[in-house]
Amino acid sequence: MTLARVRSIALEGLRGEIVDIEVDISDGLPGYVLLGLPDTALQESKERVRSALQNSGAVWPNKRVTVSLSPAWLQKSGSGFDLPIAVALLVAQGIVPEESADRIIIMGELSLDGSVRPVRGVLPSLISASQQGFSEAIVPLGNWVESSSVLALKTIPVSHLREVIGFLVDGEVPDVQMPDIETRGVTHPDLSEVVGQSGAKFALELTAIGGHHLLLIGPPGTGKTMLAERLPTILPPLSNERALEVAAIHSVAGLFNPMTLRDRTPPFLAPHHSTTPTAMVGGGSQAIKPGACSIAHGGVLFIDEAPECASGVLDSLRQPLESGSVSISRVRGTVSYPANFLLVLAANPCPCGRFNGRGRACTCSSIQIRRYMQKLSGPLLDRIDIRSFVEVPSRAEMASTEVGESSEEVRKRVLIAREIAQERFKFENWSLNSKIPANQLRYKYRATREGMTFLHAELDHERLSARGFHKVLRLAWSVADRNGVQIPGLSEVETAYRLREGVSIQ
């Protein structure tokens, strides 16, 4: 037989497209032609496949070889097609039976010695394959842990091309052992480690209850980063479906961690303030990869020294904050990634960082202070629900031996408050207070008359925008759920308003 076909898969975002790898070996001058919009890494597969076949005891055909990747209109990228191309060549030469490789998804990169290397995006690829009726897949041994998460698919892990040939010819399943996931020593920071900061901790708890975005402002060394790092520990654990989705995004980004599926703690990502807009939202000229806001999906995106970010970096988050997803358009098409995250920004109050409202120790002029905070654009700040000032801990707080509330204690209150909200929204298509539609806030989910009167007065005096009006009302529902109040009243609305404006409530 000189014509063969095997199956692999190409990713567009998190959606997989089945790719037919067809190989034709014909008479003529020896040569190799690769069709189907391959990228540079795929163009280089010829030499990797040739060396891998020869070093595995197989033969590279001394004829004209044509490899076609269908559908031809779909851009193919990466080295994950090395192994299926090699198998297709073996089938075309009659070394591997055609029927043994007909309904199997094959993925993997080949080394020159025939070893099979892991590739990115195996988890979302196999999820798509199982949804399209495939029940078996050959994957690199290094991807076995993530591939085993797809329970509807039987995966055969391989470490060498010879093992692939043995399985397809004789049905010999490679004798390998699932690597142990090291769980010892995996610890998470605890909220009890933060000294004082009762106001900031209260803001952090409301952030977790309602899914609100947070801005922490304070001098250096007061605990802004410590507070942000502990936010995932008070959030509810990821559900099975959300954990699999998060793991799939991390797989595409090359950051897969098996503890995501086992531990279920929401992810925490803290890109440096020198990051670029492309790194923040995703992109790429060939394969469009997820950015920081998608990698933080289901968890927390923390940006320290937010005013120091380059122009356009933070503003690129405005659309994901509203829609919960990011769409990246290129000439080849549009790819969408989920980006439903909690945004936590941290900023110093002035360039020198020592401004505390009393003017002591600060060397910055009023113009410098104003210009520094104006680096955060108004439209972005309008999307921030809570602004909390993190003060320098007092001498008494630093000397105290009393241990504060642990993350587990706070998480219990968060879970109770979220259960109250879920019961309230059981007939709606959302479950968090921060997701209540604006029209529902004006009719179905209003505060009491006193609370609405207060908000309308602030709106009349132009101290609130229309978006701010709705943000305060959503936050008031989170305050009410935390306090066990059925409907937000004047007290809850005033608390929410003060948190929104960054006024201390302690």
Instruction: For 334-373, write each residue's pLDDT tens digit.
Output: 889 999 999 999 998 888 877 765 556 788 888 888 888 8
Structure tokens belonging to residue 422? 């879920």
Q: What is the CATH number of domain 436-506?
A: 1.10.8
The pLDDT of residue 156 is: 93
Task: Report whether CATH 3.30.230.10 matches the domain 3-170.
Answer: yes
Are 273 and 303 in contact, with CB atoms under 8 Å apart? yes
Are 38 and 76 in contact, with CB atoms under 8 Å apart? yes
Q: In CATH, which of 3.40.50.1820, 3.40.225.10, 3.40.50.300, 1.10.3720.10 is domain 191-394+404-409?
A: 3.40.50.300
Q: Which residues contact 456 (CB under 8 A, 6 or more apart)?
A: none
Is the model more confident about 401 or about 200? 200
Confidence of residue 503 (pLDDT cuts 50, 70, 90): low
- Residue spans of beta strands (DSSP E) within 324-431: 325-330, 333-338, 342-347, 386-389
- Residue 78: pLDDT above 90? no
- Residue 329: pLDDT above 90? no
Rounded CA separation 104/20 (Å): 11
Helices (H), 171-296: 198-210, 224-229, 231-234, 240-252, 259-263, 277-281, 292-295
The pLDDT of residue 1 is: 56
Domain boundaries, the chain: 3-170, 191-394+404-409, 436-506
Rounded CA separation 102/113 (Å): 26
The pLDDT of residue 28 is: 84
Q: What is the pLDDT of residues 424-451, one digit of tens each?
A: 999 988 899 999 999 898 888 999 999 9
Rounded CA separation 488/57 (Å): 74
Rounded CA separation 451/126 (Å): 51
The pLDDT of residue 496 is: 94
Q: How far is CA 327 from the centre of its chain?
A: 14
Average pLDDT over residues 394-419: 85
Are 301 and 309 in contact, with CB atoms under 8 Å apart? no
Q: What is the pLDDT of residues 297-318, one digit of tens each?
A: 999 999 999 998 888 899 999 8
Cis amide linkage into residue 71, ω under 30° from 0: yes
Distance from the first to the final alpha carbon of the chain: 80
* Pairing assessment for the beta strands 154-158 and 136-140 based on DSSP bridges: parallel
Rounded CA separation 51/115 (Å): 11
Could you tell me what percentage of the chain is helix, strand and coil, using 3-state DSSP and rounding each to the nearest 5?
40, 20, 40
Q: What is the pLDDT of residues 189-233, one digit of tens each?
A: 889 888 888 889 999 999 999 999 999 998 888 889 999 999 999
